[in-house]
Amino acid sequence: MDDRFLVTGGARLTGEVEVVGAKNSVLKLMAAALLAEGTTTITNCPQILDVPLMAEVLRGLGASVSHSGDTVVIDTPAEPKFHADFDAVKQFRASVCVLGPLIARCRRAVVALPGGDAIGSRPLDMHQNGLRLLGARSVIEHGCVVAEADTLIGAPIALEFPSVGATENILMAAVLAEGVTTIDNAAREPEIVDLCVMLQQMGAKISGAGTSTLTVEGVDRLQPVTHRVIGDRIVAATWAIAAVMTRGDIAVRGVDPQHLQLVLTKLSGAGATVTQYENGFRVAQSGRPVAVNYSTLPFPGFPTDLQPMAIALASISDGMSVITENVFEARFRFVEEMVRLGADARTDGHHAVIRGIERLSSAPVWSSDIRAGAGLVLAGLVADGVTEVHDVSHIDRGYPDFVEIMRSLGAQIERVEPLPQ
């Protein structure tokens, strides 16, 4: 039995939230510490389960890692180990981001195929093809990605899709390659820019961060640095959507609103009053939200990580919403759980059609991934009675102090641990 949340519907969420570092950035920054011998310090780290999990991956590769509060200190040896075994990487997808740094530093990498959220296939073909173009040999053997290279030589690389993970691994390999690498159709997410900023601080020569073309001039070595993680735009947007769903009023600090322009525009279209600040925003909703259509796309499009919350919002909005998923095909598993809560929803391929109703009906539901879990809690806030959300360990992987923050905003939510056997 896993922990579960009991969510009592009917509360209007109000107050202020301080967002800490981005989950989708901190894990890659920790991996980047492998690129330089010595002590790297990363601050503004979120206190989520994936951070100590990544610390274990790095320890398995020979690094020393200490974690206190929002600071992670990583001491990377002169000769890291190159084998990240299954026990270390099986629990979360981001562990595969050690592949690029290991091939760059050790000229060899053995990384077990990772686990993670059940949101659809995320093959490593583009990661491997990029490393091959840099001169590495890469195959999958015995459940591991095995890569090795005598030397890495810069090359032009064009991605079939702006994959965040592939962009990160190729980028981290290229910074220590000989010559110039260009990555066309590169991911443009703020977390990619954050990684580029840290690598530049370490001595890497990178141009084009935030655009679809990254140019990397390889250098001989990098130096360890101290770097602050950017604010988590997905967590920030979750609180914004919660404000709209509960007809509340929430101010969010600690995130660049430029990272959420399309999301905030959609919430304005749903009837919210949105005020932006230099380091955050405020979202207030007075009446029932108006139905809005959503289509997930790589940045600067609507994030796929917010698709479950968009469905939850659509389920109680006035009118019909069409939600199109263009990134992860299995994310619509979430709709099945929303139907348990009484949502008028159906799916057809990459599309979900949601007809909003006044109020959802409480029921037991199950989280399939981090964002689905958060979306189900938001749905429980606008359901009658008490909604049981199971498998909430997923939520712990992406949202620090989730229950405490919810309560501070006025939500009635309780964590229930299973009875000992």
**Same-domain pairing of 219 and 235:** no
Q: What is the 3-state secondary structure (H, E, C) of 352-401?
A: EEEECCCCEECCEEECCCHHHHHHHHHHHHCEECEEEEECCHHHHCCCCC
CA distance 74 to 65: 5
Q: Are strands 137-141 and 64-68 parallel, antiparallel or unpaired?
A: unpaired
Whether 421 maps to a domain, the answer reads no
pLDDT digits (tens, 9 = 90+) for 333-385: 889 999 999 999 999 888 999 999 999 999 999 998 899 999 999 999 999 99
Instruction: Give the Å distances, CA to CA, from 366 to 9, 96, 321, 360, 388.
Output: 17, 27, 23, 16, 8
Considering the domain architecture, whether residues 115 and 165 belong to the same structural domain is answered as: yes
Annotated binding site: 23-24, 93, 305, 327
- 196 in the same domain as 258: no
- Looking at the fold, whether 168 and 317 belong to one and the same domain comes out as no
Q: Which positions ≥6 away from 348 have C-beta within 8 Å? A: none
Calpha distance 359→124 (Å, rounded): 42
User: What pTM does this model have?
Assistant: 0.93
Residue 194 domain-assigned (yes or no): yes
**CATH number of the structural domain spanning residue 271:** 3.65.10.10
pLDDT at 121 over 60: no
Q: Determine, yes or no, domain membership for 420.
A: no
Together in a domain, 12 and 126? no
Of 226, 254, 280, the last residue of a domain is 226
Annotated binding site for phosphoenolpyruvate, which residues?
23-24
For the chain, count helices (H), then strands (E). Answer: 14, 26
Residue at which a domain ends, from 226, 260, 286: 226
Q: Are residue 331 and residue 402 in the same domain, yes or no?
A: yes
d(CA 409, CA 378) in angstroms, rounded, equals 13
Host domain of residue 296: 2-16+231-414
- Note whether 113 and 208 are same-domain residues: yes
Question: Do residue 151 and residue 243 come from a single domain?
Answer: no
| Binding residue ranges for UDP-N-acetyl-alpha-D-glucosamine | 93, 305, 327
pLDDT over 90 (residue 116): no
The confidence score (pLDDT) of residue 288 equals: 98
313 and 247 belong to one structural domain: yes
Q: What pLDDT was estimated at residue 384? A: 97
Catalytically active residues, by annotation: 117
